[in-house]
Chains A and B, each alone.
Chain A
């Protein structure tokens, strides 16, 4: 039987734990009347050898992996088709370069018309005709850059894309991608192929996260190889990748029937990246309020003389800027020598970085204060925590602020993602409740430390924030509301059989000239 919803995921559920994964797990578990198929984009076959780390609910009827970097070149297609294919590829490449997306539809259409089976990356990457496209593109924009670098960049840019677009994915009632990027491209392809509606939920802004990753990764490697020419050389290829990802986002936005996100701040970025404001809607995440009653009572019973405890909850990875957190804790410990600092969250994602953070803590003489505890049951530890701190340089809607809030713990968080919205309120009614924590600038150990010390020194402020945050979470962030919103969204799009808005959207996609 055809599943109702096909979820398109990239490097997350059910293989990696984290915010998005919990969200997907929650959504699928709480919509038992709908059936789900999951298509997961993995880097390579065997990359997630350990298998799923979630026990998927029964209404998830299939799980399929698509491999981004297991290249299949295929064989040379029929020569009479080659010219047309390369022509559309050339148009696509030109558009990508000029920041346009018009020819993607024609490209996709041509690929699919020629049959998913007949499509081969060989035609578009290994033939002499396609080589000319590469050389033209190089001359047009990178004539002074290393040609070898350009060649590999080109391959890594287009080969995974062809891989994806030729993957066989299941037919479903609608397609729901949880990011733009590769998953978004896959969803766009599915929509074009099966003429079914496509939804996009973006937790964090994909292009933003990619930009951070690209800049960071290249800096490190420039240092490693000691390349002085980096100043001249690296930025072009950096720009290239950022542009490439921007285009993928733009195309995803174009194909999506609805674009959902977690908080208002994201919509600004989405519109800037080309999303149609009419398609946008904010559906914030919520939490399961019932789970926190007991923890809240235990927290209230906490004595005034208990050891002051600051807690970091999240994956230990660069995007969370744990280094800044550790530095801030040094400043806190200067004033509160027995402060207890707990870092709760998995450390496997970037073992090197985790190691660096631990070393940093030791070097700052925090061995007696700081403990890296790995993945633990956060709810169980919550009652003993006084302040939760977030130093991330990028966030979507961090649930830990809501969870801490439900327990009654104020948060100190950087001004990223929806942190300000969560702590100070979104609408007027929400804002009237008062502050539930303190917002600090990012990468600022001093500001973070001052905020923590303020909460330590002013128990009344802490109490006021506790009350405001509990009320806010109960009123605006009940998980059931989120599930209900998606339920309604799914059903309205599923009901629309072919011929409704979805099919019209497909029809509206420019045909691009058909076969010649």
Chain B
């Protein structure tokens, strides 16, 4: 993500004028929330369009399958996303561009195989008809590969291309649906939608292939990087699963569905997806700030350590970095707070507008609050990763996963009036927990930075300790702390 900052700043600085700014912010929103936002947008649109489409046939199966494809592929890819991102950033940092494409090819192949395996197992066990099953597996795999491509493209800063690919893909989807899906209910619509997604994937892949120098066949080093950071894998899995666990609990304990294994909860799902949309501004602001002003302070802090400045300078830089973080957080709280309050106030109006039942007002308000906490939680986890506090990020994600699951269960048992309380409470408590962990660590940041150095000196090459997702940053780890032989002669033994 670090690289994005420069690109964004360039866009803001050089293409002056309002539209350029809007475009930069739009990009930021897109990249920061990335796959999450894509999913929500698509699912919300589908939910809202359902009644209209439904008149021409039962589309519940289609909607549920798309939701499933997004949810499970996000969890599946999320598991390795952090580790892969880190590997690519490391390769770019080392300027080994010709190894990026092979690494990507390997990751893509593994992703496709994993998705196909999971997908086939699911449709086989659920006893889907062959045609529907095949299309579903295809969609599942395509979406998984799309997420992996997005990881690469965000590291490589190809935002225009991503945006274009999505617009064209969506157009193709709509066109195909109009042509085919109107007649043939589920398989047709799903097939049409899959075609559009596949088109997006194709555009993304073409862009990747063009942007990178071709290297060897496949570079499996990306897999060892997954092994090297088990905490990142665990964290990715838990965080992404946490986002979906409450919905799954609702689907299976209170939802409906066209098939015992394919279920959804129209009310809760729609409220959640709408609530997510309310935090898109926060995500955009958050990203811009993280990638520009905070990142500069962050770099300045580690730079002051590496350049051998006295401790008082390091402490000053650290204080400034924290101050910047604090100011940014407060600004974010204020902006998103205002937006959330607006949505809370106008919830009845909005619900009415969308022709949802009046009981949705309460649920929407609760999930809105939850999304607000959730976005702060995301910032906390990101900060944990910035400071390489992988264990803390893992613990925070675990807390979110457990709380969100258990509280959803509890809320379903208590009934309709409590819907949404689980999510907002889970997000709030995980936020507090994560913040405490982060705060405790940041108080000792100098100590942590130094004592995480390899014990036998700064010589050993290792990507361990390098901050996540950073390619331009002076990594805080072993690889770049200079050898300090001038001042620390490792004394050999003389012959007395």
List chain A positions with a Cβ less than 8 A from chain B.
Answer: 10-12, 16, 18-21, 41-43, 68-71, 73, 125-126, 128, 131, 135, 138-139, 143-153, 155-156, 159-160, 178-179, 181-182, 202-204, 206, 209-210, 213-214, 217-218, 221-222, 225, 227, 230, 233-234, 237, 241, 396
Contacts and interface: CB of A to CB of B under 8 A. Distances in A.
B489 A241 contact: yes
B493 A182 contact: yes
B169 to A, nearest CB: 50
Contacts of B484: 148-149, 152-153
Interface stretch (B119-127, B157-165, B455-463): B455-463
B409 to A, nearest CB: 38
Interface of B: 305-306, 308-312, 314, 444, 446-447, 450-451, 455-458, 481-482, 484-496
A151 B306 CA distance: 12
29 contacts: A11-B495, A43-B490, A43-B492, A68-B493, A69-B456, A125-B451, A131-B444, A139-B311, A143-B311, A147-B310, A147-B311, A148-B306, A149-B308, A150-B487, A152-B484, A152-B488, A153-B487, A155-B488, A181-B493, A182-B493, A206-B494, A209-B496, A213-B489, A225-B486, A233-B487, A234-B487, A237-B487, A237-B488, A396-B496
Given A12-B496, A148-B308, 11 more contacts: A20-B495, A42-B493, A143-B312, A148-B484, A153-B484, A202-B496, A206-B496, A210-B491, A213-B494, A218-B489, A237-B486
A120 to B, nearest CB: 12
B316 to A, nearest CB: 12
B311 A138 contact: yes
B312 A146 contact: no
Top 7 A-B residue pairs of the complex, sorted by shortest distance between their CB atoms: A11-B493, A146-B308, A179-B496, A237-B487, A149-B487, A147-B311, A152-B488
B447 to A, nearest CB: 4
Contacts of A20: 495-496
B442 to A, nearest CB: 13
A73 B496 CA distance: 29
Contacts of A150: 487
Nearest to A154: B488
A11 B311 CA distance: 36
A150 B314 CA distance: 13
Given A10-B496, A146-B310, A203-B496, A214 B489 contact: yes
B487 to A, nearest CB: 4
Contacts of B310: 143-147
Given A152-B487, A213-B494, A128 B456 contact: no
Contact of A147 (B305, B455, B482): B305
A198 B450 CA distance: 39
A214 B491 CA distance: 9
B486 A221 contact: yes
A258 B255 CA distance: 89
Nearest to B312: A143
A110 B341 CA distance: 62
A241 B496 contact: no
Contacts of B489: 156, 213-214, 217-218, 241
Contacts of B309: 146-147
A153 B489 CA distance: 8
A366 to B, nearest CB: 28
The binding surface of chain B is classed by DSSP as loop
Nearest to B447: A131
B465 to A, nearest CB: 14
B329 to A, nearest CB: 26
Given A148-B481, A149-B308, A206-B496, A156 B491 contact: yes
Contacts of B314: 147
A160 B458 CA distance: 16
Nearest to B313: A147
A82 to B, nearest CB: 15
Contacts of B450: 131, 151
Contacts of A19: 495
Nearest to B314: A147
Contacts of A206: 494, 496
Contact of A148 (B305, B447, B491): B305
Contacts of A68: 493
A213 B493 CA distance: 11
A135 B311 contact: yes
Nearest to B490: A156
A150 B311 CA distance: 10
Given A11-B494, A143-B311, A147-B308, A73 B455 contact: yes
B439 to A, nearest CB: 15
Contacts of B487: 146, 149-150, 152-153, 233-234, 237
A327 B451 CA distance: 50
Contact of A152 (B457, B491, B493, B495): B457
Nearest to A151: B450
Contacts of A225: 486
A208 to B, nearest CB: 10
A69, A160, A202 — most chain B CB neighbours (10 Å): A69
A10 B493 contact: yes
Contacts of B456: 69-71
A151 B451 CA distance: 10
Nearest to A159: B455
Contacts of B306: 148
A156 B455 contact: no
A84 B496 CA distance: 36
Contacts of B491: 156, 160, 210, 213, 241
Contacts of A234: 486-487
A237 B487 CA distance: 6
B308 A218 contact: no
B389 to A, nearest CB: 15
Contacts of A69: 456, 490
B493 A153 contact: no
Contacts of A181: 493, 496
Nearest to B485: A221
A293 to B, nearest CB: 30
B458 to A, nearest CB: 7
A126 B451 CA distance: 6
A224 B372 CA distance: 56
Contacts of B308: 146-149
B286 to A, nearest CB: 31
Contact of A128 (B447, B485, B494, B496): B447
Contacts of A42: 493
A143 B308 CA distance: 12
Contacts of B486: 149, 218, 221-222, 225, 227, 230, 233-234, 237
A16 B495 contact: yes
B481 to A, nearest CB: 7
Nearest to A18: B495
Nearest to A19: B495
B301 to A, nearest CB: 12
Contacts of A179: 496
A42 B493 CA distance: 7
B488 A149 contact: yes
A153 B496 contact: no
Contacts of A203: 496
A178 B496 CA distance: 8
B456 to A, nearest CB: 5
A209 B494 contact: yes
Given A10-B496, A146-B310, A131 B488 contact: no
